[in-house]
Chain A
């Protein structure tokens, strides 16, 4: 009964959103009265609250083990702690779609509240948001209904959550990512409303700046948490795999990053207006594309949900129409958007537009990497896979060019050509310092890889140019944009960490019987496999190995484990990780061989923690920018 109430609330919300659209469509061409907007806003708020209540009831049902609801029965279990009973809601397709919609609605209701009642774009934004929400609600209710019952009698016990998802990271990674993905619905709807409205003298940037910054932060944290989770909890041994689903998250992130830069330029002068609007539309379109890729099951990936062509087709049609509408209006208004002022060569805008082009190139390259196997398969019926070598060789040159533009643009001015002298001065010191440092790194590490050294050079150029700028401006007591400086330093650290990680890290596959020990190299002496134990835990059996290593004259003990979950029969691997500032020692236990020995995979990962640290620095810089934007 309670389940039906929640179902009914969601249905009513869909009806209300539909009513808002129909009601406004019929009155749009006539003379609009102010009451019309008041009524629409009220209906909109009420519809949003209906969905919130519906989700609240759903959480209540999950906590109270209502296994007559098919989705809860197949993803939860009475034995789970309450915390995982709640997070199990977004552990699979239907529930996570529900969460996605709840977030979509949360962003929308807050944004509509923030707009003044007399705002000329309020009505159109509200309609655009209602349309998008309605589309997703119908998708949920028609193709992936989380309220479906097992009738007439429910299951006695739930099928349990997938053990790899029984992790605190599940509680935050998907919600953060979704908050980021759907947060850009605001810029999307607002820009579309602006383009449909057609009054181009309106100032629009400030209204969505903070919203987009916050969404960017959520998206960044969401992606970084996913990478962190894969490394520390799932035992993947790395931080990024160019998995199709990682790629479809990276595309909106790149678009969003380009959008933020353009938005700042656009609020200073009008020259990048068309760029900014295009990027704003692109981000959400790419988010929708990501939802389609993940939820249609068109591509095999660790992240894919159950395959269902019907869902895929609905999502493709719906997100296609929404994106095409926005892009169509954009193309139609394009001549009017183009400012008469040209971009001045050597001005800050010129470097920003160059970076936009680089970002679009990266997005397109990833898009090609994701779709190329599909294209080949549909033409030649052959399976190909696109892996890290493709992405590494595409990205290395792009990153270097971007880093050079970032370095030059620090001293560039808005709408004015920079002098040749400033140009030389701004690049001279960072370049010399970077080349020197690279030489030192080469001497110390004694390895050389073109791609990795391009990455290191890019990181160093950014780091040195910003550090010099911060120091000189501090001495001269001149103003510096702290948020931007810190974020870019984060980016430099990221490039550096990724590149150093790729050349320094190594992996050894070992094969030892309990009691044996071996010497691996100068830094890793006496790797000894002491014993293996089989334990029984509440819902799984544990095979736990005891290993001790002398690493750099320090003694470490490592306990890699394998777990066999009894309910689902799934086997998971718990890696043992010992971390120091520079490197992680990462040990995973494999299978037992016929002769009684066990296989181990030992990975020494350098600078891996620095990757997440760099993301934290970028996010911190962005927070400062939001704060500044709020106070100014």
Chain B
């Protein structure tokens, strides 16, 4: 068995590995397109002021945060949401299985990070979204659900899950 063949046996797998590493490292913008990207479900609900919510309000880059006055974790993540809204991120609340009066009182007490809140007392829209409990946060880009965080939204989750998608969406195509 000559040296050439022996080195070839090792060289070939090495080349294959380098090829895959290259694809993983370089092309991930193209390769890792989102599978779960699906349309935001249709709904006809009012906001907490009683005005109907229009689907156009979900154009552009929006966050939809599922919250309720009875939800303690929502209070925990409230400062972070406030910080985000301070950085000019548009957050729409989805008030989940709550009463209008309690929800409004909660927002008055703690301050509102939301543009407005969709009032969903029976959890219809939340059901269509596949919400399992409050809090949950959806990243919506042009009425499409692009990413989803269950539970408290933190800086770490934000950086890992939402930030890359927002960065990508803001790139001129």
Contact = CB atoms under 8 A, between A and B. Distances in A.
Interface of A: 67, 70, 73-74, 150-159, 285, 292, 296-298, 304, 306-309, 312-313, 316-317, 320, 323-324, 327-328, 330-332, 334-335, 338, 371, 374-375, 377-378, 381, 566-569
A158 B150 CA distance: 11
Contacts of A156: 132-133
A327 B152 contact: no
A108 B151 CA distance: 38
9 contacts: A70-B150, A150-B150, A151-B152, A152-B72, A153-B71, A309-B24, A334-B9, A375-B19, A378-B22
A70 B20 contact: no
A334 B76 contact: no
Contacts of A375: 19
Contacts of B35: 304, 306-307
B101 interface: no
A66 to B, nearest CB: 13
A152 B27 contact: no
B73 interface: yes
Q: Which range holds the interface residue count of chain B?
A: 35 or more
Per CB-CB distance, the 3 closest pairs between chain A and chain B, nearest first, are: A150-B151, A155-B133, A156-B133
A157 B133 contact: yes
Interface string B28-55: 1011101110000100000000000000
Nearest to A330: B9
Contacts of A285: 13
Nearest to B28: A309
Contacts of A159: 130, 132
A74 B132 contact: yes
A307 B151 contact: no
Given A374-B23, A378-B22, A327 B13 contact: yes
Contacts of B7: 331
A296 B10 contact: no
Interface-central residue, A151, A154, A323, A331, by most chain B CB under 10 Å: A331
Given A152-B76, A152-B152, A328-B10, A316 B21 contact: yes
A231 to B, nearest CB: 24
B20 A316 contact: yes
A334 B8 CA distance: 12
B130 A567 contact: yes
Contact of B9 (A73, A157, A317, A331): A331
B13 A157 contact: no
Given A152-B73, A309-B28, A292 B20 contact: yes
Interface string B83-106: 000000000000000000000000
Contact of A313 (B19, B21, B127): B21
A75 to B, nearest CB: 11
Given A157-B133, A324-B13, A331-B10, A569 B152 contact: no
Contacts of B41: 569
A459 B27 CA distance: 44
A158 B24 contact: no
Contacts of A327: 9-10, 13
A327 B6 CA distance: 10
Contacts of B28: 309
Contacts of B24: 296, 298, 309, 312-313, 316
Given A324-B10, A334-B1, A569-B41, A155 B150 contact: yes
Nearest to B74: A153
Contacts of B151: 70, 150-151, 153-155
B161 to A, nearest CB: 11
A74 B17 contact: no
Contact of A153 (B20, B22, B26, B72): B72
A374 B73 CA distance: 44
Contact of B6 (A312, A320, A334): A334
B133 A323 contact: no
Given A70-B151, A153-B72, A156-B133, A307 B32 contact: yes
Given A74-B132, A569-B41, A338 B1 contact: yes
A381 B26 CA distance: 12
Contact of A74 (B10, B31, B150): B150
B59 interface: no
Given A156-B133, A313-B21, A316-B24, 20 more contacts: A73-B132, A150-B151, A151-B151, A154-B133, A155-B150, A156-B132, A157-B133, A298-B20, A298-B31, A306-B35, A306-B36, A307-B31, A307-B32, A312-B24, A313-B24, A323-B13, A327-B9, A331-B6, A378-B26, A378-B27
B1 A335 contact: yes
A298 B22 CA distance: 11
A67 B132 contact: yes
A331 B12 CA distance: 12
Nearest to A337: B1
Contacts of A150: 150-152
A313 B21 CA distance: 7
Contacts of B6: 331-332, 334-335
Nearest to B148: A74
